[in-house]
A = this chain, B = another copy of it.
Amino acid sequence: MRRRSLPQARAGLALSVVPVKFHSVTTFNPPDFSDPKFAGFPDARFEPAPADGVLPEGFFSTTNLPTFVRVNGRWVAPREPRMDSGLIMDANGVLWVREGRRLLKGDLVAVGDKEDGTQGIYVQTQLTPAGAHDDAFAFMSSEVSREKPIDYGHMARLLLEERERGGYPVWVTGPALVHSRARTDMSWFIQNGFVGALLAGNAVAVHDIEASIYGTTLGMTNTGEITQGGHGLHMRAINRVRAAGSIAKAVEQGIITDGIMYSCVKHNVPFVLTGSIRDDGPLPDVITDSVVGQDAMRAHAIKATFAIMIATALHAIATGNMLPAFVDNGDGTMRELPTICVDSSEFVVSKLKDRGTHQAFGVVTNAQDFMHILRLYVEREIESRTAATSTTAAGAR
């Protein structure tokens, strides 16, 4: 039987509801730097990089949380936040978060090892609005379990809101997604404007293309049957795209006629395929250099307002490393960056959180089922909104 002695210990039987982290996209304010506690803090100190790609000793190592640096008495948020990087001031005095490998000798780098403002750098660790019940929050944020219900309705509404406000949802997927039905569902999301960019590896594209050309994925038909002689099919698929020159050309030439990559090409949805040492082929579009691949992924991570990671450990954690935990609302406030991580086991989600992506909301299920139900809920939500609009319109007449 399930129970939670500690948190409830502080409350009674009254059935007040404590919202789960994911259920609301929290909006919060930056710290109030007029607070006297900030008064005595100094400006941050900067030192030059001793060589290309090398940070000065004592460099400040960033987190994915809102960070403020005191320059000439003002607290400034550096651009393009992410974790595990340096804080650089450019020639115009603008602050950037930059990976160490991207530095040039002489670049000015913030130094320090305190995050409490005493060295001119302040990391905001409280992202909850004032008044939130802190214990409950901490309690739920560790929660990832196959034993929890999944609120598909809520995720569907979030996706629709992103589409309405012109957000930039980044989808990160692994090869387990590419079974016939999930492949169809993923294509539907691309075709209907729910995907800002797709980040994946060689295998996702290979099996998606294999499915388009040969009707199989992993040598299996879409009802899970094995084809004899199927072990070479993905190699043949790769070879045909290599012969065509690129995925887009293979689409043009009518070699690839449906699926995820086809939909991306036809609907101008950008994709980044990054290489790994496990790759067969690879396909010509794959960026084989991991550092170049990271830069390509980061170009999308910087713009992300929503992240959904499905059935991939490697790409999910890589993306998590590059994502800030928050989005700037542009009005002086910030909000959490909703990050959904879907996997068959709790392990990947826990690992993602352990590596700093605290905001990740875990869904423990099969990728095929997840995509199928999520699409169903999005379609229903669209229908109900359309119906509501028609009624309103009719009523207005």
Residues of B within 8 A of A350 (CB): 145, 346
Check if B1 sits within 8 Å of A226, measured CB to CB.
no
- Complex formed: what's the CA distance from A240 to B55 in Å? 9
- Complex formed: what's the CA distance from A293 to B242 in Å? 20
Residues of B within 8 A of A191 (CB): none
Check if A356 sits within 8 Å of B5, measured CB to CB.
yes
Check if A84 sits within 8 Å of B366, measured CB to CB.
no
Of the candidates B1, B279, B288, the one whose C-beta lies within 8 Å of that of A203 is B1
Check if B290 sits within 8 Å of A291, measured CB to CB.
no
Check if B83 sits within 8 Å of A5, measured CB to CB.
yes
* A150 within 8 A of partner (CB): yes
Q: How far is the CB of A55 from chain B (nearest CB, A)?
A: 5
Of the candidates B7, B150, B179, B278, the one whose C-beta lies within 8 Å of that of A228 is B7
Q: How far is the CB of A139 from chain B (nearest CB, A)?
A: 8
- Complex formed: what's the CA distance from A5 to B124 in Å? 11
Other A-B contacts than A6-B358, A278-B317, A344-B344, 10 sampled, CB-CB below 8 A, are: A3-B84, A4-B226, A4-B231, A8-B230, A15-B215, A15-B216, A18-B227, A146-B366, A277-B297, A372-B373
A101-118 residues at the B interface, CB under 8 angstroms: 101, 113-116
Residues of B within 8 A of A83 (CB): 3, 5
Check if B50 sits within 8 Å of A13, measured CB to CB.
no
**Can you list 8 A-B contacts with CB-CB less than 8 angstroms, sorted by A residue number?**
A5-B64, A6-B358, A15-B228, A23-B223, A151-B224, A276-B318, A288-B289, A373-B373
- Complex formed: what's the CA distance from A216 to B82 in Å? 23
Residues of B within 8 A of A277 (CB): 274, 276, 290, 293-294, 297, 314-315, 318
Check if A279 sits within 8 Å of B290, measured CB to CB.
yes
Residues of B within 8 A of A116 (CB): 10, 12
* A128 within 8 A of partner (CB): no
Residues of B within 8 A of A51 (CB): 243
A140 closest partner in B (C-beta): B226
Residues of B within 8 A of A10 (CB): 115-116, 125, 228
- Complex formed: what's the CA distance from A148 to B311 in Å? 13
Check if B113 sits within 8 Å of A229, measured CB to CB.
yes
- Complex formed: what's the CA distance from A315 to B63 in Å? 28
* A262 within 8 A of partner (CB): no
A51-86 residues at the B interface, CB under 8 angstroms: 51, 53-55, 57, 59, 61, 63-65, 83-84
- Complex formed: what's the CA distance from A179 to B179 in Å? 27
A217-233 residues at the B interface, CB under 8 angstroms: 217-232
* A154 within 8 A of partner (CB): yes
Of the candidates B9, B142, B231, B321, the one whose C-beta lies within 8 Å of that of A142 is B142
Q: How far is the CB of A17 from chain B (nearest CB, A)?
A: 5
Check if A366 sits within 8 Å of B368, measured CB to CB.
no
A151 closest partner in B (C-beta): B223
* A33 within 8 A of partner (CB): no
* A36 within 8 A of partner (CB): no
* A11 within 8 A of partner (CB): yes
Residues 263-279 of A, flagged 1 when their CB comes within 8 A of B and 0 if not, give 00000000000111111
